[in-house]
Amino acid sequence: MAEITTTLVKDLRTRTGAGMMDCKKALTETGGDIEAAVDWLRTKGLAAAAKKAGRVAAEGLIGVAVEGNAGAMVEINTETDFVARNDQFQGLAAAVAEIALGAEGDMERIAKAPVPGAGRTVAEEIVHAVATIGENISLRRAARIAVTQGAVVSYVHGAVRPGLGRIGVLVGLESAGKPEVLESVGKQLAMHIAAANPLAVTAEALDPAVVERERAIHMEQAKASGKPAEIVEKMVVGRLRKFFEEVVLLDQTFVIDGETRIAKVLEQASKEAGAPVRVSGFVRFALGEGIEKRTDDFAEEVAKMAG
């Protein structure tokens, strides 16, 4: 058996584009024979997947699964919306959302979990999908919400089928109230969150760095007015209050009626449910948010191909 040196691993990586750990495993499995290792990687679909891994994948689907008092959500990306309409890809996204529920949203546990009926782990199934579908596919993120007593309610915007779409929301309601009331208000709140995109349930739960950044910006703007320090401080407080109304869930105006604060919506829900209703948390995923998408000029691309 040939020694598995760093140079050998790098050579295999250069030839196949596969990951370092995959290359090392391939060489180990083939006794250090680099040609056999190339074939091993190709057989596993890892070489083909690696070649596509550099492509921007900003399309795809958000998958949501809810069972009992818990819900999970995942984002699986592809390069094109066309693949997101593919039955195989949709089946993968739905299966991974269900798996995320049992894996408590932990990315490492999800990747290692078996896909029912496939004989492969999630990570292996994604590699298989890359090889068969022909596009870069990646599991970007996952989250899980659970309540001790109450309900976890989901909403999917732009759904292509139940539980799969372009925006997904999970909202947790802690309450001993009537389940039908919790389900109804939960659905409305999830729709509101999808539209209004709050950053936190309360002002206290906001990232302190975000609040400090807003304060600094408004302080500089207020100082530029030339007003006395005490007036400047009041101006900053007022502008921060306005900021909270825009990004804090309980301070936002309910998008469904355009006038009621969410805090008041929960007060009314508590009366109807017969017990206090509290939002314990929420998660909102919008497909591709934060990913820098390519904006290639198709005509220019054709011109390049033509020489």
Query: Mean pLDDT across the chain, nearest whole number?
Result: 86
* Placement of tokens 């074939």 in the chain: 39
Four-point Cα dihedral 257, 263, 268, 271, nearest 10: 160
Q: How would residue 6 be classed by pLDDT, with cut points 50, 70 and 90?
A: confident
Residue 45 has pLDDT above 70, yes or no: no
For the segment 85-133, what is each residue's pLDDT rounded down to a tens digit? 889 999 999 999 999 999 999 999 999 999 998 889 999 999 888 888 8
Furthest-apart CA pair in the chain: how many Å? Answer: 80
Structure tokens of 217?
Answer: 């910006």
Are 40 and 25 contacting, i.e. CB atoms less than 8 angstroms apart? no
Is 0.85 topped by the overall pTM? no
Q: State how far the Cα of 72 lies from the Cα of 152, in Å rounded to an integer.
A: 10
Q: Give the range among 33-42, 92-101, 108-117, 246-255 with minimum mean pLDDT.
A: 33-42
Q: What pLDDT, on the 0 to 100 scale, is given for residue 305? A: 41
Tokens of 181: 């009331």
Residues 279-304 have pLDDT tens digits of: 999 999 999 887 655 444 444 544 45
For tokens 């105006």, name the residue: 253
Residues in the chain: 307
- Surface-to-core class of residue 75, CB atoms within 10 Å of its CB (0-12 exposed, 13-18 middle, 19+ buried): buried
With cut-offs at 50, 70 and 90, classify the pLDDT of residue 14: low
CA distance 284 to 290: 13
The percentage of residues in the chain with a pLDDT greater than 70, rounded to a whole number, is 86
Q: Domains along the chain?
A: 6-52 (1.10.8.10), 59-202+253-286 (3.30.479.20), 208-247 (1.10.286)
pLDDT above 50: residue 60: yes
pLDDT in the model for residue 302: 42
274: left (phi over 0), alpha (psi -120 to 50) or beta: left
Q: Distance between CA atoms of 77 and 83, rounded to whole angstroms?
A: 10
pLDDT: which is higher, 210 or 277: 277
Residues 155-201: tens digit of each pLDDT? 999 899 999 999 999 999 999 999 999 999 999 999 999 999 999 99
**pLDDT band at 251; cut points 50, 70, 90:** very high
Mean of pLDDT values over 148-156: 97
CA separation for the pair 140, 150 (Å, rounded): 29
